[in-house]
Structure 1
């Protein structure tokens, strides 16, 4: 069953927030984990929740294309938040990553609307979650393209 753009993005960033909070808990219990420290991970989780809140602020619409227009309108706000958090690159990467994911979903939806429903279409190209997209590791929420500026 295909997900809406909002559902996909909410799931992605809510999952990242949950994984980051689990990371914080593990670090507070004494686990030594590579990557951001507990305070930074907590800030990243808060940023992920902020993205979910922003997505929830977009009016729901029965027409998926109309709803996507509202979601795409969040990109300038996300880019501004990325600039505002430039001194903390991992948090900046959350906001920049959200803007990137929205653009990817927009591109995938445009491509999918022109496709002939090919039976072996790659689910990643359609903006749908697959087994390889998220495994809960700290590197799942920061992609190389999120850090480029």
Structure 2
């Protein structure tokens, strides 16, 4: 699985003009299940996100996790993280998991992250969403559970 993790002061997601998920200080996590991923990948990614030390400590160093600061997470599905841009001008997405599998693993990731003790809200899988965020830092980290060289 892949995730783009952003440290945020706040973030929200809207569907059809209504806010369906939001967080204050914490993380915005854009998530994509890739073909061949399984529950283990979702759980591994959730644990990495929960323990990722990208928040400032008392010495202003990135040394604290979202767990350490008591922050929340807004988790949004983003199949475009599977984009293959090696050729041409139009990205290909064939390496993303099939929609049903992608939904299942996205939901598993969000549940596994919540099981770590993080307040999690989500977007709507497959919906046309508007995501708003105030990136803190900015800090943006790319995570991938597999070596996809």
Same fold (TM over 0.5): no
Between structures 1 and 2, the one with greater helix share: 1
Larger radius of gyration: 1
Q: What's the TM-score, normalizing by structure 2?
A: 0.31
RCO (CA 8 Å, sep 6+): is it higher in 1 or 2?
A: 2
